């Protein structure tokens, strides 16, 4: 006879998460992501800033090696004797400082591909590229070559080339501009175009509202001697960051284009300029400003502190500002090769007008009115920088 069962088999079923529990877990994950994401973004930006700083350091060393080899600093952009260009326009310019220092930056092959006999930096129709590559020497591929060393990884627009000039050529971007001044008097132009190099003039007595006292050299037929930087290498900016343009027709930040605002800064410490990342809407006097405003729109340009002066000249770019996308300021390299981060709030002094430093007229600029910003940019004021952060 079968015996009766003395117990029952029990099955313990594993219960699933409830909806409330799932929501709690999702909320916790969301909080953790919200806490970690800023830290991750900050770490990435720190890495990008470090790379940007390192690029600037290497370019500055390239300039100093060029000076050691040539005996002069590179000019922001070059006028060439016998070129025939005698008018005050950008289309008479040839190579610029970055092209000239390519051999010092381990870019000899790229340098050798440029044809120094052809105009490269013009606005209108490039005398270098009026024929197809198969028919004549040209620099179409060279000016479109992206050089990683010339790009700050923090600037997301650096991969978007400028498209313009003759036959809508493509120009690669760059984020570093020489601290220059834009001087090209017609008298000197005509002499150079005719094949005669004018004698050197006293750099500290050239006319203009700080225009020709700013920086380490002028648009010229030759570079400036280091001994003429009377303030000393540790008191003068050599290179400053440069934001690239916000549209394909915005020529700001173009490494092979020897124009103010494209590959060098000019007139950025005078009475009409603010300091780093100045945002008053009239600081960048760049050729084609109307096209930039048309493409991007004033609201975005003002929000980005990148609105160009709408009254910019028809033939040439006249002034630019050191800019970056780093929060709070921008990097500069001094003439001694060191790199510093300059705050947006650096003291820009009280400059209201004047023609030159040390002039014997009523328009003399008084260096006593300079803030640290002017002292860093002006190379012949005889003043140390003071506090520059």
Matching residue, tokens 């060098």: 264
Q: Which domain holds residue 157?
A: 40-377
Kind of pairing, strands 364-365 and 162-164?
A: unpaired
State the Cα–Cα distance between residues 71 and 80, nearest whole angstrom.
Answer: 19
Nearest CA to 157 out of 241, 239, 248, 240 is that of 248
Q: Band of the pLDDT at 45, cuts 50, 70, 90?
A: confident
Look at residues 167, 223, 177, 169 and name the one whose alpha carbon lies nearest to residue 317.
177
Q: What is the pLDDT of residue 24?
A: 87
The residue behind tokens 């750099």 is 203
Rounded Cα distance, 228 and 241, in Å: 24
Residue 14 inside a domain? The answer is: no
| CB contact burial 89-126 (16+ within 10 A = b; e otherwise) | bbbbbbbbbbbbbbbbbebeebbeebbeebbbbbbeeb
**Total count of domains within the chain:** 1
Cross-strand bridge partners of residue 78 = 220
pLDDT tens-digit map of 328-386 = 999 999 999 999 999 988 888 776 655 566 665 556 667 777 788 888 888 777 666 65
121, 144, 147: which is closest to 133 by C-alpha?
144
Give residue 232's pLDDT: 82
Q: What is the pLDDT of residue 205?
A: 52
Residue 322 falls within a domain, yes or no?
Answer: yes
DSSP string of 261-308, one letter each residue: TTTEE-S-SSTT--STT--SS-SBB-TTHHHHHHHH-HHHHHHTT-PB
* Sign of the torsion formed by the C-alpha atoms of 176, 60, 381 and 326: positive
| Choice among 69-83, 156-170, 181-195, 239-253 with the minimum mean pLDDT | 181-195
Task: Residue count of the chain, please give it.
Answer: 389
388: in domain: no
Residue 343, domain member (yes or no):
yes
Q: Is the pTM of this model over 0.75?
A: yes
pLDDT band at residue 87, thresholds of 50, 70 and 90? very low
Q: Does 169 map to a domain?
A: yes
195 domain residue, yes or no? yes
Q: What is the dihedral of CA 72, 206, 187, 321, to 10 degrees?
A: 70
Average pLDDT, the chain: 77
pLDDT tens, 213-255? Answer: 677 887 777 788 888 888 888 888 999 999 999 999 898 999 9
Tokens coding 7: 């117990």
Helices (H) and strands (E) in the chain, counts: 8, 9
B/e letters for 42-56, b = 16+ CB within 10 Å, e = fewer, are eeebeebbebbbebb
Q: Which residue has the higher pLDDT, 181 or 289?
A: 289
Q: In the structure encoding, which two tokens stand for residue 203, read together?
A: 């750099």
Question: For residue 207, is it within any domain?
Answer: yes
Residue 164 forms part of a structural domain: yes
**DSSP single-letter state for residue 231:** T
Query: What residues have CB less than 8 Å from 312, skipping those under 6 apart?
Result: 285, 286, 287, 288, 289, 290, 318
């Amino acid at each position: 006879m079968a015996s009766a069962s003395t117990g029952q088999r029990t099955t313990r079923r594993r219960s699933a998460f409830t909806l409330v529990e799932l929501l709690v877990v999702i909320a916790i994950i969301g909080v953790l992501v919200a806490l970690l994401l800023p830290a991750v973004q900050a770490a990435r930006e720190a890495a990008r800033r470090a790379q940007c700083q390192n690029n600037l350091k290497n370019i500055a060393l390239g300039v100093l090696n060029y000076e050691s080899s040539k005996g002069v600093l590179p000019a922001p952009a070059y006028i060439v004797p016998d070129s025939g260009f005698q008018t005050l326009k950008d289309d008479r310019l040839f190579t610029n400082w970055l092209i000239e220092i390519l051999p010092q930056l381990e870019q000899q092959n790229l340098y050798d591909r440029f044809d120094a006999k052809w105009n490269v930096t013009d606005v209108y129709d490039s005398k270098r590229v009026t024929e197809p590559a198969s028919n004549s020497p040209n620099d179409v591929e060279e000016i479109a070559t992206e050089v990683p060393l010339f790009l700050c990884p923090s600037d997301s627009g650096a991969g978007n080339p400028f498209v313009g000039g003759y036959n809508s050529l493509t120009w690669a971007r760059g984020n570093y501009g020489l601290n220059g001044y834009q001087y090209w008097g017609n008298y000197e132009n005509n002499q150079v175009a005719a094949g005669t190099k004018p004698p050197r003039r006293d750099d500290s007595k050239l006319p203009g509202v700080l225009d020709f006292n700013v920086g380490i050299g002028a648009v010229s037929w030759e570079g400036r001697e280091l001994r003429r930087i009377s303030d000393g290498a540790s008191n003068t900016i050599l290179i400053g960051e440069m934001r690239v343009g916000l549209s394909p027709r915005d020529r700001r930040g173009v490494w092979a284009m020897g124009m103010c605002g494209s590959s060098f800064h000019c007139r950025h410490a005078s009475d009409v300029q603010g300091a780093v990342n100045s945002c008053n809407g009239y600081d960048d006097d760049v050729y084609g400003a109307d096209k930039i405003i048309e493409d991007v729109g004033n609201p975005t340009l003002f929000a980005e502190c990148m609105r160009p002066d709408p009254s910019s000249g028809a033939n040439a770019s006249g002034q630019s500002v050191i800019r970056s996308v780093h929060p709070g300021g921008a990097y500069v390299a001094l003439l001694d090769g060191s790199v510093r981060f300059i705050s947006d709030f650096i003291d820009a002094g009280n400059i209201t007008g004047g023609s030159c430093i040390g002039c014997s007229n009523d328009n003399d600029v008084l260096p006593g009115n300079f803030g640290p910003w002017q002292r860093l940019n002006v190379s012949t004021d005889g003043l140390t920088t003071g506090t520059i952060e």
